[in-house]
Amino acid sequence: MHPAKGDAFLVQAFSEILDITLRSLYVSGFATLLSASWSIPTSYLLAFRRRVKVLEALMESLVGIPTVLLGLLLFLLLSSSGLLGFLKLLYTPQAIIIGQAILITPLIISTSYRTLRIVAPPYSELALSLGATRGQAMMLVLRESAPGVAASIIMGFSRTIGELGIAMMIGGNIKGFTRVLTTAIALGVAKGEFESAIILGIILLALTISTALSVKILMEAKAP
C-alpha cells in the first residue's frame, strides 16, 4: 500500500473509531441521565413507604430482563405499524436512548432505594422538625445519600455502555448515525475484521472498568 494511502486509511479508521466511541458515550450518558431523572425521585418516594416489598422484588427481578426481549417490544411499538410508529423514532439514536433508559430504570431504582430507605426517613424528619421546607429536606437527604445514589447512576451507565440487544434491534447499526461500540464490535466479528473489533473491545473494556472503579470509590466514600 502506498504510504500516503496508508496514512489516509489510518486517519479514516481513527476518525471512525472516535466517532463510534463519542456516540456511545453520548447515547449511554443521555440514557442514564434520562433514567435517573425519574428513577431517583421514585426511589425517594418509595423510601417513605412501609409496604413496598412486592414492588422492591419486582424491580430487582426486572434488573435482569433480557435486552433482546425489551428490544423486541420496543421494535413492535416503534415500527411503522406499531402504536408509536407515528413518532418515527425507529433506527435513530433517540430510540436507543429511550430503550436504554427503560432498561436501566429497575437497576437505578433498586440500588438507590437501598441507600435512600436508610437515610431518607430520619434525615427528612430531622430537617422538617427544625423548620425546613419539604424541598430543603429532600435536598438534605440527597446530599447525605449522594455517594450511594451516584454509584447507582454509574452502575446504570455501565449497563448501557455494554448493551447490545436494544442498540441493534431499534438502532439498526447504521454507520455514522446509530452505530455504537457494541454493535460495531458485533459487525466487525461478523465481517472478520478482528483487529478493529479488538480495538473497540479494548475501548469498551476500559470504559467499563473505569465505571466499576468509580462505583468502588463512591461506595468507599459512603462507608463510615
What's the pLDDT score for residue 34? 97
Q: Is residue 3 part of a domain?
A: no
Q: Is residue 8 part of a domain?
A: no
Q: Is residue 6 part of a domain?
A: no
pTM (global) more than 0.85: yes
Q: Which domain holds residue 178?
A: 28-222
Q: Is residue 1 part of a domain?
A: no
- For residue 54, the tally of other CB atoms under 10 A from its CB is 8
At position 37, the amino acid (one-letter code) is S
**Which residues does 112 contact at the CB level (< 8 Å), separation at least 6?**
39, 40, 43, 145, 148, 149, 152, 153
What's the pLDDT score for residue 105? 95
Q: Is residue 158 part of a domain?
A: yes
Q: Is residue 101 part of a domain?
A: yes
Q: Is residue 217 part of a domain?
A: yes
Q: Is residue 12 part of a domain?
A: no
What's the pLDDT score for residue 147? 85
CATH of the domain at 134: 1.10.3720.10
Q: Report the phi/psi class of residue 173: left, alpha or beta, with left for phi > 0 and alpha for psi in -120 to 50.
A: left
Looking at the 3D structure of the chain, how many domains does it have? 1
Give dist(CA 46, CA 147) in Å, integer: 19
What's the pLDDT score for residue 6? 57
At position 117, the amino acid (one-letter code) is R
**Which residue ranges of the chain lie beneath pLDDT 50?**
none
